[in-house]
Structure 1
Amino acid sequence: MAQKSAEPLDIELADLPQALRWREWMARVEAVLFASSEPVGRDVLARVVGRDCALDLLIEDISAELAGRPYEIARISGGWQFRTRPQHAGAIRMARGEGDATRDLTQNEALVLTIIAYMQPVTRGAISRLTGREVSRDLIARLHRQALIARGPRSPEPGAPYTYVTTPGFLVQFGLESLRDLPDLEALEDAGLLKLAADIALDLPITSEDE
């Protein structure tokens, strides 16, 4: 016996009063975000609401209703995603049995990741020149295993080495919507979060060895 096909979703909901229509759209968007482990883009959410729905305002209304809850909707990597609020991170780690053993980036890893984020695409050799010391393949591999960086295009310099770029996982990890949201380097230094040698000029593009 053939299974009855599901009826198409009514996204316009023209038969409902405006207030009820808006509530139903809110519920649908919240359900889609709740069910996804990745940021959900505008194009995906637009499939479950009507043409006249202002998604940004809709999500603002959902966020307002989540005030006081231990989770929130964050704009990350070009989309929206549910995430727990930072103040509850310790409780979550403890519940998972992780305790204080969660591994943070080492100072060297953080420096290399910062250079890649601001200079991408950039080669390992260029990173070494910036830091004034050799950057090991193991360090690059550790960042790659954490899905923070990936291989970019090959560099035009001799030997055509691979360049490295940050990943969407990097944006998610640090709660950024896009690379445009990276903090100003001077602000990082003033806050004591980034201490660079005086001769490291991250605002200068790095290309070939001779240049």
Structure 2
Amino acid sequence: MAEAARARRATGRPGDGLFDRELDHLPPEARWREWMHRVEATIFAASEPVGRETLARIVGKTCSIDLLIDDIREELRGRPYDLVAVAGGWKHLTRPAYADAIRTAVGASERSVDLTQSELPVLMCIAYFQPITRAELSSFFGKEISRDLIGNLRSFGFIASGPRAPQPGAPYTYVTTQAFLLEFGLGTLRDLPDFEALEDAGLLSKEKLLAGDILPRFTDGDDPGAGAVIDE
């Protein structure tokens, strides 16, 4: 009976009611390797980035998720894909060097969307100055930002309603979403280029933003579908 119980803890089979996170029966090196396999398999199977709290459920309490990820990435160094921190979690993404080959073989990523010359500056403005109302966006650009444009950005999943503004009528504000982070290959909003630093370096300005002259990809991305495609 005791041996059967140990076997169930070791395998962690569904339906046993037990899942052995600690793997104390294994030597340290084998335990670490099994944790690496669990984490990589979970991220590989997930359609969305997997967060730290989720990964903590399948490894020991003393296990460092960051060190585990570092070791997995080291083993993937020579592979055409990597484990990337994006949208508050980790996800398997192909390396940019293979984007052309992937597009040639299977076409563009399903995640790639077309943003117009009008939509991308507004999305950038929301990203940097959120939460922000439609009236504030209109004031920033000096022209009416239509509900249709906002609706398009919402339909892509890049923005959502934020808290109501402390203004007459309590209008809704707009904020970016996890889908925005994922599309542009950002771990968090802190990974956005520093707006003031870009202005100081002459790389970004309100005038250029308004003129539509500055439409950067926030990152080169690690996936052939990462980053918006500009609709000329």
Instruction: Assess same fold via TM > 0.5.
Output: yes
1:8 and 2:10 matched: no
1:90 and 2:100 matched: yes
Give the SS at the match of 1:160: coil
The equivalent residue for 1:35 is 45
CA distance in 2, matches of 1:71, 1:12: 29
CA distance in 1, matches of 2:189, 2:126: 11
CA distance in 1, matches of 2:93, 2:202: 26
Q: How many Å apart are 1:153 and its aligned residue?
A: 1.8
TM-score (norm 2): 0.75
Q: How many Å apart are 1:123 and its aligned residue?
A: 0.7
CA distance in 1, matches of 2:155, 2:177: 12
Once the two structures are superposed, residues 54-99 of structure 1 have per-residue CA deviations (whole angstroms, 9 ceiling, x without a partner) of 1111110000011121211111222211111223233333333449
The equivalent residue for 2:122 is 112
- Please say if residues 121 and 209 of structure 2, whose CA atoms lie closer than 8 Å, have aligned partners that are also in contact: no
Which of the residues 127, 143, 149 maps onto 2:153? Answer: 143
Structure 1 residues not aligned, in runs of 5+: 201-211
The equivalent residue for 1:167 is 177
RCO higher in 1 or 2 (8 Å CA, sep ≥ 6)?
A: 2
Which of the residues 62, 72, 91 maps onto 1:62? Answer: 72
Q: How many pairs does the alignment contain?
A: 194
Over aligned residue pairs, what C-alpha RMSD do you find? 2.4
Percent identity of equivalent pairs:
56
The equivalent residue for 1:51 is 61
Q: Cα–Cα, structure 1 residues 155 and 98, in superposed 2: closer, same or farther, change >3 Å?
A: same
- Please say if residues 137 and 145 of structure 2, whose CA atoms lie closer than 8 Å, have aligned partners that are also in contact: yes
Once the two structures are superposed, residues 8-32 of structure 1 have per-residue CA deviations (whole angstroms, 9 ceiling, x without a partner) of 2221111211111111110000001
CA distance in 1, matches of 2:54, 2:39: 10
Amino acid in the other structure paired with 1:176: L
4+ residue runs over 6 A deviation: none
